[in-house]
Homo-oligomer: A and B are copies of this chain.
Amino acid sequence: MARVDFWYEFASTYSYPAAMRIEALASARGVTVGWRPFLLGPIFADFGWRDSPFNIYPVKGGYMWRDMRRICDSLDLPLKHPQPFPQSSLLAARIAIALEGEARAEFSKEVYRAEFGAGETISDRNVMARLLEAVGADPEATLALAEQGAVKDQLKMECATAKALGLPGAPCLATRDGEIFWGNDRLEQGLDWAKRASRSA
C-alpha cells in the first residue's frame, strides 16, 4: 500500500488548501496519508528568521496573499487574513498531536477553516474547544491531554524529525523512499511518486 506523510504547520497559509485537497487526491490514487503536524519555528530559526518570511519580505508576502486568493477562489474555499499573521500555532499543534487518525485529520481541517476561512484566532482555547466538539472529541479531556508532557515531547520529536528530513517549509509530502515534495502545488506530484514507488518496491 502506497503511503505518504503530510507535514503541515497550522500557521502556514499554503497548508490550508493542501489540507483541504489531499484526501481526495490521495484516495483517487490509492495512497494512504499520515497527518504530521509540526512547527516551522525551529527550522526558520536556523534560517535566522524570527517571523514569517511573508512578513520579513513584503514582496513575497504580497505575492503569497494574491496567490492564495487565486487558489482559494479556484477551489471555492473562503479566505480571510487572520490577525495577527502568522498565528501562534503551538496549542493547535499540541491538540492535533493528542488526537489520532481520522480525528486528527478532521480537527486539522477545522483549524484551517477557522483560521484562514473565517479569520479566527487559533491560540484561543475557546475556539479550540469548539472545533474539538465539532469533530466529536471531548474538548476538556483533549485540551488537558494536549498540555501533558508526553504530548509536548511528542511534538518536539516531530519537529526534530521534520528538521532531520530537511523540510524547507510547509506543507510537504514525504514518501517512504525519502523524497520530499514542498508546496500545495506539489501534492499531485508527490502522491504520484509515492504510488509509483510502492509498485516498484
Contact = CB atoms under 8 A, between A and B. Distances in A.
Given A185-B185, A186-B185, A166 B62 contact: yes
The count of identical subunits is: 2
A166 B59 contact: yes
A47 B48 CA distance: 13
B60 A168 contact: yes
Interface string A49-82: 0000000010110110011001000000000000
Interface in A171-186: 179-180, 182-183, 185-186
Nearest to A74: B189
Contacts of A167: 59
A63 B185 contact: no
Interface of A: 43, 46-47, 57, 59-60, 62-63, 66-67, 70, 166-168, 179-180, 182-183, 185-186
